[in-house]
Structure 1
Amino acid sequence: MQIKQLLMGMFCFSASSALAQEDKDSTKNPLSFGGYVESYYSYDFNKPATHQKSGLVYSHNRSNEVAVNLAMVKASYDGDWLRGQVGLAAGSYMNANYAAEEGVYKNIYEANIGVKLSKSHNIWFDAGIMPSHIGPESAIGIDNISLTRSIAAENSPYFETGAKLSYTNAKGDWYVAVLALNGWQKIQLPESSKGMSFGHQLTYQPNENLLFNSSSYIGNEGPDSLRFFHDFYMQVQVHEQVKLLALFDYGMQKQAHSSKTLNWWTTGLQLQYAISDRYRLNARGEYYNDGDDAMFGSMDPLPKKVIGGSLGFDMQIQPDLFWRSEFRYLNSDGAIFKKGTANYTDRQACFTTSIGWRF
C-alpha cells in the first residue's frame, strides 16, 4: 500500500508540475519517464554451495543463478527553475545496498527535488535521496566501463540522503557542490548518530576528452567514531577509440574509545577500447589496502589486501540495449571466498554475462 501511495503521489505531482510549466512554455515538456533493467548470470569457478558471493561485492553478488541486478522505473522533471526525480527499484543490488533501510525505503532508488536559486547563475539547491557524489561508477551498469563494479565502488556509497548546494559556471567546465548528509550510504540517520555528515565535490572538465574529480566525506560512523574519506579520479578520452579511468581513494577513521586512527586506500585503472560503434573491449586492474581493518572489519577471516583484474567484451544491440560479458579474478591475503560446501580460499574467478536496457 505504501508503494502504491508513493507512485500515486509521484504521478500527481509530476503531472501538475508539467501542466504549470507547459503554460509557461508550450514548446517544452519537462516531464519524462524511463527506467533501467539489467539481468545477469555469474558463474563462480569455486562452485560454492550457496549462491551469495563474498562480502566484498554488493552488485552482481549472486552466483550460479539467473538474477536481476537492478530493475528501476523513474519519473523526472527538468524545468527552468524546478527539477526532481522519483525512482523505485528492485533487484539483488537493492537487496544488498539497502539492507539496513526500513519499509518502503528499501525500494527507493532516488527521490529528490531541486530549486534554482538564481536567475543569472546556475546555482541549485537539491534535497532528498540522490546518487552518491563519490566515485565514477554508478548502479546503472551500461554507464560504466566494466560490467561489475570495482572494489573501490563497492566499498564507498552508491547513494546518499541529504541536501546539496551546487554551482556550475557559465562555460560549464567547473562544477562545485557542498553537501549535508545523513551519513555514509544511509537514508535514515541511525539512532547512534550524533549529527549530520558533510562532503564536497569539485569537477573540472576543460574539454569533452578530459575530466578531473575530487570528492570528500566527513562524518560520524557511530558513537565517538569519525570518518574522513577522499576520492579522486580522472577520465581521459585518449583517442576516439580509447577511454581511460584512473582512481585513487584514501580514508581515515578515528575509532571509538581508542587513540588509534585506522587508514585504508585503494587505486585502480580501467581501459575501454571501441572496436567499432557496436563492439567494445575493456580491462581493469585494482588494488585495495585495508591494513587496519577499517572497511573489512566485519569479515572473518580479516583480509588486509585484495588485488584483482578483469577483461570484458560488450556488444551494443540497440542504442540503449547492451549485452556484456566479463571474466574477473580476485586474490586476497585472507581465505574469504567460499569454495565447495564448507571450504574457503584466498582467490576467486567468476564469469559474468548480462543484458542491460535503458528505456
Structure 2
Amino acid sequence: MSLLALPCLLSFALLGQSEPPAPQSSALESLVSRLKPEGGVDVYYGYNFNRPADGAHFIPGTGTTAKRDNALSLNLASLGVSLEPAPVGLRVLVGIGTAMEVVHGAEPEGTAIGPQVWRFLQQASLSYAHGSLTLEAGVYPSHIGLESFQSQLNWTYTRSWMGELSPYYQTGLKGTWTFSDAWSAQLHLLNGWQTIGENNRGKALGTQVAYAGERLSAAFNTFIGEEGSEDATGLRLFGDVVATYQVTDSVRVSGTADVGTQRRPGQDAALWYGVGLNARVQVAPPVAVVARAELFDDREGLISGTAQRLVAGTFTLEVRPAEHLVLKLEARHDRSTVDVFGPYRDQTLVVGGATAFF
C-alpha cells in the first residue's frame, strides 16, 4: 500500500465512525417536532343579582366557571405540553385559578393526598398506541358528560348542573379501541368518581361506546364502583348519554341525559337524574348564539348535598374576533326547590368571559 493511499483510508474510516450519531440526532429531532406546547388564560366578570354575602355563585362544590361575584377574576390559567403517541406519548397540564380550587375541592384528605397536594394538576398521563388500540394511564379527562373543563371547548361559558355534578377528570387506566372511522369503545379502571387520591378499598369501572358520523355524534357512558368512605360506602351505578347533531351548516343541537343510583348503608338507595338541551346558531363567521335548558333532580341530596330539584336556563352570545380568542356574554337563571342560593331559591347571573389559548 502506498503512503499516498493511507490518508484516504483514514478519512474513510473516520467518516464511517461518525455516521452512527446521525440516526440519534434524527430521533431527537423527531421527538422535538412531536412535542406540542399548549395553554391559555380564561378570565371573567360575574354579577349575581342576589348579591351573595360570601361572594360566591352556585352551590358549594360547584362553579368551575365564574365562581366569584362582582369581581374581575382568573378562572383558569393553564400551561402544558403533549406528545402524540408514536407509539409512546404523554400529556402534562397544570393550572391555577378559581376553577382549579373548585374542581379539586372534594379530593379525599389523607397522607400524601388531598386538595392541596393536587391543586395545580389538570392532567398528567402516559399513552401507548398500537394499531387500533390506545392505552392511557394517569390523571386524564373524564369520559362522562358533554362539557369540557376548558372554557373554549364548550358552547356556553358557565357549565350545566350535570357537568358540575359529574366528573371532569379521573385517575386510572383507559383502553380505547377504534373499530372504524365512526365507531370506538373505551374501558376504564378507575380510583373512583373524580378523585386522584383513594378513600376506600374499592375500584371503579367505566365504559363508553361512541359514534362519530358526518352530522351525528353520540356516546353512551357508564360508571360502576364503590363510592364513599369508612362505613358510608356503597355501590354507585351511573349512565350518561350525549349526542350532537348538525342540523344545517349554521345550526347544531345537542342533548344529554344522566341517571345514577347508589346504595347507602341502613337507608334506601339514592337516585338522581338530569336532562339538558342545547342549541347553537352561527349567525356570522365570528358570531354565534347559544341557548340551554336543563333539569337536575337529586332526590336524596347525595350528589348536590341537598335534596332538591334544580332547573336552569342560559343564553350566550359568543364572538371570536381571532382564531385563538373567544369572548362570551351570558345571562343565566337557576331555580331550586329549596333555599340553596343563600336565603333564596333562585339566582340570576350575568357573566362576561374571555379565553385566549394556544
Give the structure-2-normalised TM-score.
0.87
Q: How does 1:246-325 map to 2 (within 5 A)?
A: 246-258=255-267, 260-296=268-304, 298=305, 302-325=306-329
Q: Which whole-Å CA distance do the structure 1 matches of 2:174 and 2:350 have between them?
A: 39
1:204 counterpart residue number: 211
The answer to whether the 8 Å contact 1:70/1:91 transfers is yes
1:108 aligns with 2:121: yes
For 1:336, give the aligned amino acid: V
| Corresponding pairs, count | 324
1:194 counterpart residue number: 201
Q: How does 1:75-154 map to 2 (within 5 A)?
A: 75-99=81-105, 100=107, 101-116=114-129, 118=130, 121-154=131-164
Q: Which has the larger radius of gyration?
A: 2
In structure 2, relative to structure 1, the CA distance for the partners of 1:79 and 1:44 (3 Å cut) is: same
The answer to whether the 8 Å contact 1:182/1:196 transfers is yes
Q: Which whole-Å CA distance do the structure 2 matches of 1:354 and 1:105 have between them?
A: 26
The answer to whether the 8 Å contact 2:85/2:128 transfers is no
Q: CA deviation at 1:49?
A: 2.1
Q: CA RMSD in A?
A: 1.8
User: Which deviates more from structure 2 when the two are superposed, residues 100-109 or residues 43-52?
Assistant: 100-109
Q: Which whole-Å CA distance do the structure 1 matches of 2:63 and 2:203 have between them?
A: 25
The answer to whether the 8 Å contact 1:36/1:140 transfers is no
2:56 counterpart residue number: 52
For residues 266-325 of structure 1, the C-alpha deviation after alignment (integer angstroms, 9 at most, x for no partner) is 0000111001110010100000111222212x3xxx342111101110110211101101
Q: Which whole-Å CA distance do the structure 2 matches of 1:31 and 1:350 have between them?
A: 40
For 1:64, give the aligned amino acid: N
Q: CA deviation at 1:66?
A: 1.1
Q: Which whole-Å CA distance do the structure 1 matches of 2:99 and 2:31 have between them?
A: 38
1:356 counterpart residue number: 355
For 1:109, give the aligned amino acid: Q
* Structure 1 unmatched ranges of 5 or more: 1-18, 339-343
* Percent identity (aligned): 26
Q: CA deviation at 1:257?
A: 3.2
Q: Which whole-Å CA distance do the structure 2 matches of 1:287 and 1:328 have between them?
A: 14
- Secondary structure of the equivalent of 1:271? strand
The answer to whether the 8 Å contact 1:314/1:325 transfers is yes
Q: Which whole-Å CA distance do the structure 2 matches of 1:43 and 1:262 have between them?
A: 34
1:178 aligns with 2:187: yes
* Structure 2 unmatched ranges of 5 or more: 1-22, 108-113
For 1:310, give the aligned amino acid: T
For residues 79-113 of structure 1, the C-alpha deviation after alignment (integer angstroms, 9 at most, x for no partner) is 42111100110111100111233444111110000
1:236 counterpart residue number: 245
- Secondary structure of the equivalent of 1:146? coil
- Secondary structure of the equivalent of 2:119? helix
The answer to whether the 8 Å contact 2:85/2:127 transfers is no
Moved over 6 A (4+): none
Q: Which whole-Å CA distance do the structure 2 matches of 1:354 and 1:205 have between them?
A: 30
The answer to whether the 8 Å contact 1:146/1:270 transfers is no
For residues 242-283 of structure 1, the C-alpha deviation after alignment (integer angstroms, 9 at most, x for no partner) is 11110100000100233x111110000011100111001010
Q: CA deviation at 1:237?
A: 1.0
In structure 2, relative to structure 1, the CA distance for the partners of 1:79 and 1:58 (3 Å cut) is: same
1:16 counterpart residue number: none
User: Which deviates more from structure 2 when the two are superposed, residues 50-59 or residues 307-316?
Assistant: 50-59
